[in-house]
Amino acid sequence: MDKAKIIDICIQRCKRDKLHPAWIYLKEGESVSWKVEKGSDRFFSIEEEKGISLRMVPVNGDTVGTYTSDLSHNALASMVEKLKKMEQEKPPGRQNRSSERTVPHSDENIRATSGSRSLAIFHQDAELIGLEAVEHFFNAMRQTLNKYKKYYDLQHSFSLQKGVHEVSVADTAGFFASYRSTFYYLVLTLVGARSGRRVSHWTIRASHDFESLDPREIAASAAYETSVSLASKSALSGTYPVIYAPRAAAEFLCLMGPSFAADSFFKRRSIFSGRLGAQIASRAVNITDQGDLRGGLGTIPFDAEGTKSKTVQLVRNGRLENLLYDLYQAHRLGIAPTGNLHCSTYREMPRITPLNLTLIPGQQSLDSMVRGIEEGFYLLNTVNAEGMDLLEDRYRIVGSGLMIRHGKKAEPVSGVLLNGQISQMLQNIIAVGPYLYSSALPGFPLAPAMLIDGITLS
Amino acid sequence: MLVKDFLAQQQKAGAHFCDFFAERAQSLTAEITESHPGIYRQGNYHGIGIRIFKSDGEGYYHTSDLTPAGVYRLAKRIVRNDDPKGTLSGVEHTPVSEETLDFWDEGLTEIPIPEQILGKAAQGAFDAGRVLRYFHCRVWIFIQDVKIITSEGFDVSERRKYLHCQVEASLEKKGDRCSARLNRGACGSQSFNPETAEEMGRKVVDLAEEKSDAISLPGGELPVILGPGSGALLFHEACGHPLEADYIQKRRSVFADLLGTRVASQLVTIVDDPLQADGGVYLRYDDEGVNTRKRILIEKGYLRKFLSDRKNARMVSGAASGNGRRQSYREPPLPRMSNLLLMPGQTPPEEIIKETEHGIYAQELGGGKIDPPGGRFIFKITRGYEVRDGKIGRPLMGMLLRGSVRNFLRNIDRVGNDFRLAPGPSFCDKEGQRIPVGLGQPTIRVSSMTVGNR
C-alpha cells in the first residue's frame, strides 16, 4: 500500500469515529551501516523500517496516541479503534484536571503547505554508497591514526551509517505533506593507553552528505582529544575561569535545551520556569532555535503537527524572550506555535524539542580568551557524571583539557570535576567565540567556544 | 520460503552460522504531571532480523515489513549483497499478499491504562496537603514476544513482560530546590499493586523533604557502606560491564587476561542469574536462543567467567553463556547482563554500621559512568547519610563516589547477610541499546573510596 492510501484509511476512520482533530505521522526509512573493528572484524547491516502513529489532544488537554508498524488495512483500523477507546477511557489520574477546550488545527499562516519536498541535497538509495568509498574513507582515518601510535598505544573502531527516511504528516483537516532526508553518521571509538593508563574516547559526526565528512580531520582531532584524556589526574581545587571548547559548549547547550520547551516551563521542570522576560544569562548570551536553518542537521520543513519550522529568538542579550511551543501550549496562551513538536520515530510520542539550538557567535577569538586568563582551564572532553539536574539547578560533569597559565595553554589534565549552579553559570558567561561547531547530539545544537567565570573545579 | 530453508541456503553459500530473530512488542505509556494534562500512548511493532556470520565478517539485515513481499525483499537483499547475481531458490515471483506473516503462539493482549497506579501515586504524594513544585508519575508496560531460529537447530519462543513505574517530586524549602525520584516495577508474573505506587508517592516527597536538611561533607578517602538492593548499580556498572566478552575480546576491559586470577576481596562472589524469580528480568533463553542459567562470574574473589554471546564466546571463553541480548529486532545482540547479583555474606548489616566510626552510607545511587578500558568510574549518591560513631546520621547532599574498579573490588571488607533485590527492572544502555536488567546485593562496606561533594 502506498503512503497516500495508508493515510487516507486512517483519516477516513478517524472522521467516521469523530476523532477530530487528529494528527498522523508516518515514517519510512532504510539505512545501511558498515563497522570495522580490530582490522578484520567487519560488520555490515541493512535496515528497513516503516511505521505510523496517530495522536489526539482531546477536550481536557490530555494527549492520547497509538502506533503500529503493521501497515495492513486491518492493523490500521485497529489502531484507530484503540485511539477511540483510549480517548473515551482516560483515567481520572489526579485532581485539578484542566478544562481546556479542544485544540484546533493550525491555521494557514503557520501551517506548512501540503505536498512533498526534499530536505537534503543527496537522495540516492541507501545502497548506492559503495563499499569501495567506505574502505577508502576508513583507510584515510587509519593512516591518520597510525601517525599518533608513536606517542601512545591506540586502538580504533569505525562505523559509518547512511540513512534515508521519508516523513509524512497529515491531519483530519486535510493537511498532508512529506519530506525526504539523507543522513550519514560516523562513530569513531578510540582506546588510548600510556604509562599504564587507559581511556576510551567517542566521536560522533553527522552530515547530510558524505563528502563533507573529512576522515583525516575527524581522526586527528579524536586522537588529539584522546591523548589529552590520557594526561595525569588534575590536582585542581578552587574556582577558576573555564573556556569551553565548541564541542563542550554544544554539549552544555544540549543539556539545557529541554528547559526552553513550553511544556517543561509550565510544568516547572525547566530551570527557567516563571522567568519569561527575566535576565537569565549574561548580556553576552543570545540563543536561537533554528528549525529552518538552511543545511542544518536538525532542519525540518514542518513538525509533527504540520506547523512550519522557523527561527525563534529564545534569549536576547541574556533575557529570556520566548519559548518553544506546540499547538496545545500555544493555544493555551493564544499565541502561534513554533513548529517544534518533534519525534525521531513513530514509536515515540512527539515532544517539544529544540532543533538546531544555537548559541549565537560573539566577537572574541579563542586566543584572546586564553590571553586574558591568568590561571584557568580549557575544557575539551567531557564525561557526563550527572550532567544537568534541571529540577535542582545543578551542573556537574567530569572533563579533561588543558590548564591555562599566564595567558597561555599549558599542560593537559584529566579527571577534572566541574561543579556549578546552571543559573549562576549562565550569568557568568563572559565571552562567546566567533566560530560555530555543529554537533551530532540530540537536536543538533550549534555552539562556539564560550568563557565562563567562577566554576568550581576539583 | 521457510526460515529454516533460508538459513540452510545461507550455510551452503558459506555462512558458518546464521540466525533469525522475530519480535512483536506491545507497549503502553501513561504519565501525569500534577495539574497538567497527561499523556497516554499505546501501540505495537514487529519485525525480523537475520544475522549471517561468514569468514570475512558479520551481516545483519532487518525489516518491519512482515508481508510476504517485505520478507522476500529482505531475503533478496541478503542474497544479492553476497552475490549480485544470486537468486532465491524455490521462489520465482515476488509474493503480493498484504497479509502480515504470523510467527506467534499467542495473540496480542489488551493492556488497560494503569489508572489506579497513577491515581495512587498522586494520592500518596499530595497526602497531608503537601505543596510540591513538581510531581510526575510515569508507568510503562511492555510485552515482548520473541521467536529465535538458528542454523544450529534452535527454535525457541518466549513472552516477556515488564512494568516500570517512576515517580518524581520536587519542592522548595529554605530557598533550595530539592527533588527525588523513585523507580519500582515488576517483570514476568510478578505483581505490582497500586498500594506500592501510593507508597512511592509518599516516600518520594519524604526524600525530597529530607534533602532540604542535607549537609555536605568535605571530600576525601572514607569508608563507604552501600545499602542493600539498589546499591548494586555500582557492581553492575563497575564490575558487570567490564566482564562482558566484547570488551574482553577487544581488550577494552580491566579484566582482560585476568581469568582465573584474584580480582576482588575473598568476600566477593558475583553471579548473573537470568532465572531469578524475583529479579528485574526473567529469561529462559537469551536473544540468540541459548538456554540461560545462573553463572558464577567472580567466586570468592577469583574471576571465573565472562558474560558472552555467541560471537564473542568463541574468542574468549568457548561456549556462549546465554547473555546475548538486544533491545529489539533492529539491533544485533551484544553480551549483556541479566540479574547481576552480589551474593550475601555473614555479617549482620547493623554490625557493619556499628563498626564504622566515620564514613558514608549510600542507600541509593544515581547516574554514573565507567570507562571499561581504564576501569575508572564516577557515581552520584542520590540518597546518602553520614555515618558517625557507628550510627547513621544526617542526610548528605550531592556526594559523588569516584574510584577504580580494581581498588573498589579489593577494598570490600564487609559483606552483609541481608541480600535484597532492587525492586523491578532497571535499565541499562550500551551502544545505543536500552534493555531491562536486574540488580541485587546485601549491605557491603568498602574500606576506602574517594568521596567528593563537588
C-alpha cell at A263: 511544556
Contacts of A129 in chain B (CB under 8 A): none
Q: How confident is the model at residue A97 (pLDDT cuts 50, 70, 90)?
A: very low
Q: How confident is the model at residue A99 (pLDDT cuts 50, 70, 90)?
A: very low
Helix axes B194-211, B115-125, angle to 10 degrees: 30
Poorest-pLDDT segment among A54-68, A198-212, B58-72, B318-332: A54-68
Poorest-pLDDT segment among A40-44, A107-111, A428-432: A107-111
Q: How confident is the model at residue B103 (pLDDT cuts 50, 70, 90)?
A: confident
pLDDT(A122) > 90: no
Contact B136 A1 (CB under 8 A): no
Assigned CATH for B2-213 = 3.30.2290.10
Give pLDDT, residue A382.
87
- What are the structural domain ranges in chain B? 2-213, 220-453
Segment 395-434 of chain B within 8 Å of chain A by CB: 398, 400
Give mean pLDDT, residues B420-442.
93
Average pLDDT of chain A, as a whole number = 88
Report the distance separating Cα B401 and Cα B234, nearest Å.
10
pLDDT(A385) > 70: no
φ, ψ (nearest 5 deg) of residue B224? -125, 125
Give pLDDT, residue A102.
54
Report the distance separating Cα A254 and Cα A374, nearest Å.
29
Nearest CB to B118; choose among A60, A91, A419: A91
Segment 240-299 of chain B within 8 Å of chain A by CB: 250-252
b/e map B382-397, b = 16+ CB within 10 Å = bbbbbbeeeeeeebbb
Residue predicted with more confidence, B222 or A198: B222
Contact of A423 with chain B, judged by CB distance below 8 Å, is answered with no
Q: How confident is the model at residue A123 (pLDDT cuts 50, 70, 90)?
A: very low
ipTM value for the complex: 0.90
Give pLDDT, residue B96.
62
Contact of A163 with chain B, judged by CB distance below 8 Å, is answered with no
Contacts of B119 in chain A (CB under 8 A): 91-94
Q: How confident is the model at residue A104 (pLDDT cuts 50, 70, 90)?
A: low
Residue A355 CB: number of other CB atoms within 10 A? 27
A27, A68 in Cβ contact below 8 A? Answer: no
Give pLDDT, residue A280.
97
Contacts of A79 in chain B (CB under 8 A): 43
Q: What pairs with residue A275 in β-bridges?
A: none
Give pLDDT, residue A105.
63
- Cis peptide, bond prior to residue A21, ω within 30 of zero: yes
Model confidence pLDDT, tens digit, residues B361-412: 999 888 778 888 888 888 889 899 999 999 999 999 888 898 899 999 999 9
pLDDT(B420) > 90: yes
Give mean pLDDT, residues A414-428.
92
B353: Cβ–Cβ under 8 A, 6 or more apart, which residues?
A: B225, B361, B387, B390, B391, B392
| The most confident of A86-90, A170-174, A196-200, A281-285, by mean pLDDT | A281-285
C-alpha cell at B89: 531458490
Contact B179 A73 (CB under 8 A): no
pLDDT(A5) > 50: yes
Segment 127-146 of chain A within 8 Å of chain B by CB: none
State whether residue B453 is helix, strand or coil.
coil
What is the percent of chain B with per-residue pLDDT over 70, rounded to a whole number? 95
Q: Cα dihedral sign for B193, B197, B202, B204?
A: positive
Model confidence pLDDT, tens digit, residues B258-309: 999 999 999 999 999 999 989 999 999 999 999 999 999 999 999 999 999 9
Q: Which of B15, B407, B364 is nearest to B182 (CA)?
A: B364
